[in-house]
């Protein structure tokens, strides 16, 4: 049983590796290489490549209060989370 599980895991990794082997069609430039290095380090890069400053708890709380007051949370509850 263990041998079969290991074989499936190895087969899955091999299939994933071969699927991405041909995904790059052009040579990456320096920006792409730098972003890849950061992503491999475990950090997220926003789509536009600009860094995003972290928010404080007070800023997040103020956004929550504003969303409650202008009806954004009610809208989400009625549309996105209606089935929960």
Given this model, what pLDDT does residue 31 score? 61
Assess whether pLDDT exceeds 90 at residue 70.
yes
With DSSP H G I counted as helix, E B as strand and the rest as coil, what are the percentages for the chain, rounded to 5?
A: 65, 0, 35
Q: pLDDT tens for residues 10-68?
A: 666 666 655 545 555 556 566 665 555 555 667 777 778 777 789 999 999 999 999 99
pLDDT of residue 33: 59
Confidence check: pLDDT of 73 > 70 = yes
Q: What are all long-range contacts of 75-84, with beta carbons under 8 Å and residues at least 24 apart?
A: none
> Which residue's entry shows tokens 């950061």?
38
Alpha helices (runs of H) in 1-84, residue ranges in sequence order:
2-21, 30-40, 57-70, 72-79
């Amino acid at each position: 049983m263990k041998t079969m599980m290991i074989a499936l895991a190895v087969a899955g990794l091999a299939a994933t590796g071969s699927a991405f082997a041909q995904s790059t069609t052009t040579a990456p430039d320096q920006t792409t290489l730098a972003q890849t290095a950061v992503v491999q380090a475990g950090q997220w890069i926003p789509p536009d490549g600009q860094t995003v400053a972290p928010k404080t708890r007070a800023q997040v709380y103020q956004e929550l209060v504003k969303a409650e007051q202008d009806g954004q949370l009610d809208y989400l509850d009625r549309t996105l989370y209606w089935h929960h």
